[in-house]
Amino acid sequence: MLYTKLVEVYEALNSTTKRLEKTEILADFLKLIGENEPHILPPVTLMSMGRIFPTWSQKELGIGSKLLMKAIASAVGVTPGEVEDQVRETGDIGLASEKLFRRKSQVTLFTRPLTILKVYKDLVKIADISGGRSQYKKIDILMGLLSSASSFEAKYITRTVIEELRVGVGEGTIKDAISQAFHIPKEVIERSHMLTNDLGLVAAVSREEGEEGLKKLSLKPGKPVKPMLAQLSPGIGETVKEMGWAICETKYDGIRVQIHRKGEDIEIYTRRLENISLALPEIVSYIRESLPAEDFIVEGEIIVTRDGKPISFQYILQRVRRKYDIERMVDQIPLTLYLFDTLYFGNNLIDTPFRRRREILESIVRIYPGKVEISRQVKVTPSDIEKAQKLFEDSINEGHEGIMIKDPEAPYMPGIRGKKMLKFKAEPETLDLAVVGGTYGKGKRAHFIGSYLLALQDDDNQLRTIAHVATGLDDKTLAELSQLVEPLITNQKGRTVRIEPRIVLEIAFSEIVKSPEYESGYSLRFPVVKGIRYDLSPEDIDTLERIDSMFKGSQKS
């Protein structure tokens, strides 16, 4: 099939903004290709979105806009400066090429018409070139292509090279078009896409084997699947009750990774399915040691720790984006991997209940302390919710984000943000609040203040209560706080005391809610003491104004 046919499709797509019309145009074209040249259906499907490789492929063309402009200049016989001027004028390298090539085609007649397959194969060849003089070799092939191109063809070849096709077609439209072209229900296309992340393959199987063939597609180590996503939990108790019982885990704040082993190869993919194996060589070698030498897919979260405590998530981005000097970064920013799921081990496990996938994970991972761990977990029923609350507090105290609440019976649902996995997070921000009162415990704890009443300050620097906090302190800090507080008690009624506001606590919590119960008009859900702020005095505590604005902000999101 001639490349001009594809270019006509691009132009037609460009001429409408209506999604249904775009779908129709693409569906007709995919059908036509399927009937005439079925072997090129996979590349055509990808090229319709301006791609040569599926998203998860590590291959890239490696031609920046400077180099591309040079190739255009040579192909049309002008200076790179003139190409640059055109790009500036039109704001698009594709339009600039079209103009320049139009001038050229008036004088030279291109002889060999380009086919879709030729364009595809040459672009693959360009991506495959590496090593010495690779830029020259890449540009050579590109110039060869461009010198046989018409002005319209040049417009789209150049846009494909810089991965900006500008015809308004994304994965959604392509999926609809495949469904329409080969009469396959959309959900089946959706699921096949989730599992393989290769719309070229999905199109080919749709045509050749139909729905039955698609249903047989399964995940394979080496091909990443879209990760299962989490919804926000409205509350631990409510969520656990809904699930019947739940597996709760610490929520680590780093980056989600899907790790594939196929034969000797170990690849690490991000949540967006980018391959980041080269940036994280130590994780690859930890995995080689910690897991059996069999094909598998496991998932986890990578975080940065210092002295056993997690540190800002920002550091890990520095590691992931790094292309050079990686060895030095391995020493400077040490990583810990917390594994939490198995998607494949010996066979496909995504339809296996989570509790079983977790058991498999535990049976295959050899813990490598501080390097490869398994996520901390508790099993919770509606009658022992405190176990989940304790995990939440401990997780926050250790510097993590909160907890995940997972349905033990649920399959792995690629790409779905459903009710089978929920997150219950602390607000990223903490509050500094003054201790103004407390309540003594009962029984064995009768000589300890078990819960503290906290206050913020209003515009007039008047203290206004906002919450009681009972948790988060280890025994040592609890004793320390008691000692600090006792001399400050100004009044006692039964077990309840008033305390002179001198001590400031840093408080983490999950949510600010309106409440008539406290003087501030607000209350905190799941408040947890993160520490005693010896460096702050009551004048430094948080204000009603800040809480107002945090509350309003949370209502918007």
Tokens standing for residue 452 = 């503290």
Whether residue 13 contacts residue 167, with contact meaning beta carbons closer than 8 Å, is answered with yes
Starting at the edge strand that comes first in sequence, how are the strands of the sheet with 246-251 ordered? 229-232, 417-425, 402-406, 246-251, 377-380
Binding to ligand AMP by residue 138, rule CB under 6 A?
Answer: no
List 22, 138, 226, 251, catalytic entry: 251
| Residue placing its CB nearer to ligand AMP in the complex, 70 or 357 | 357
Spatial CB neighbours of 297, under 8 Å, sequence gap ≥ 6: 219, 221, 225, 258, 259, 260, 261, 342, 343, 344, 345
Sign of CA dihedral 460, 463, 467, 470: positive
Considering only the stretches 14-22, 248-256, 259-267, 379-387, report the one whose residues sit in contact with ligand AMP under the rule CB under 6 A. 248-256
Considering only the stretches 37-45, 53-61, 106-114, 247-255, report the one whose residues sit in contact with ligand AMP under the rule CB under 6 A. 247-255
Among 10, 120, 152, 252, binds ligand AMP (CB under 6 A): 252
Q: Rounded to an integer, what distance in angstroms lies between the CA atom of residue 367 and that of residue 510?
A: 31
Per-residue x/- mask for ligand AMP, residues 257 to 296, rule CB under 6 A? --------------x-------------------------
CA angle, residues 336, 338, 342, in degrees to nearest 5: 140
Considering only the stretches 20-28, 116-124, 250-258, 484-492, report the one whose residues sit in contact with ligand AMP under the rule CB under 6 A. 250-258
Binding to ligand AMP by residue 100, rule CB under 6 A?
Answer: no
Question: Known catalytic residue: 121?
Answer: no
Q: Which element (helix H / strand E) includes 406?
A: strand 402-406
Residue 249 CB, shortest distance to ligand AMP, in Å, is 4
| Residue placing its CB nearer to ligand AMP in the complex, 203 or 421 | 421
Binding to ligand AMP by residue 304, rule CB under 6 A?
Answer: no
| Residue placing its CB nearer to ligand AMP in the complex, 303 or 497 | 303
Residue 302 CB, shortest distance to ligand AMP, in Å, is 9
Q: Rounded to an integer, what distance in angstroms lies between the CA atom of residue 223 and that of residue 146?
A: 33
Residue 261 CB, shortest distance to ligand AMP, in Å, is 20
Binding to ligand AMP by residue 256, rule CB under 6 A?
Answer: yes
Binding to ligand AMP by residue 251, rule CB under 6 A?
Answer: yes
Beta strands in 218-254 (DSSP E): 229-232, 246-251
Residue 191 in 3-state DSSP? helix
Among 153, 176, 198, 301, binds ligand AMP (CB under 6 A): 301
Residue 423 CB, shortest distance to ligand AMP, in Å, is 5
Per-residue x/- mask for ligand AMP, residues 330 to 369, rule CB under 6 A? ----------x-----------------------------
Residue 348 in 3-state DSSP? strand
Name which of residues 187 to 246 contact ligand AMP (CB under 6 A): 230
Q: Which element (helix H / strand E) includes 344?
A: strand 335-345
| Residue placing its CB nearer to ligand AMP in the complex, 51 or 251 | 251
Nearest to 280 by CA among 313, 329, 236, 241: 329
| Residue placing its CB nearer to ligand AMP in the complex, 86 or 375 | 375
Q: Rounded to an integer, what distance in angstroms lies between the CA atom of residue 198 and that of residue 45?
A: 10
Spatial CB neighbours of 209, under 8 Å, sequence gap ≥ 6: 216
Place of tokens 């984000």: 401
Q: Rounded to an integer, what distance in angstroms lies between the CA atom of residue 185 and that of residue 180?
A: 8
| Residue placing its CB nearer to ligand AMP in the complex, 251 or 420 | 251
Nearest residue to ligand AMP, scored by beta-carbon proximity: 256
Binding to ligand AMP by residue 427, rule CB under 6 A?
Answer: no
Among 423, 464, 498, 525, binds ligand AMP (CB under 6 A): 423
Residue 307 CB, shortest distance to ligand AMP, in Å, is 21
Name which of residues 515 to 544 contact ligand AMP (CB under 6 A): none
User: Could you tell me how many residues of this chain bind ligand AMP (CB under 6 A)?
Assistant: 12
Q: Rounded to an integer, what distance in angstroms lies between the CA atom of residue 67 and that of residue 82?
A: 14
Spatial CB neighbours of 75, under 8 Å, sequence gap ≥ 6: 101, 104, 143, 146, 147, 149, 154
Residues found near ligand AMP in the complex (CB under 6 A): 230, 249-252, 256, 271, 301, 340, 375, 404, 423
- Cite the active site residues: 251
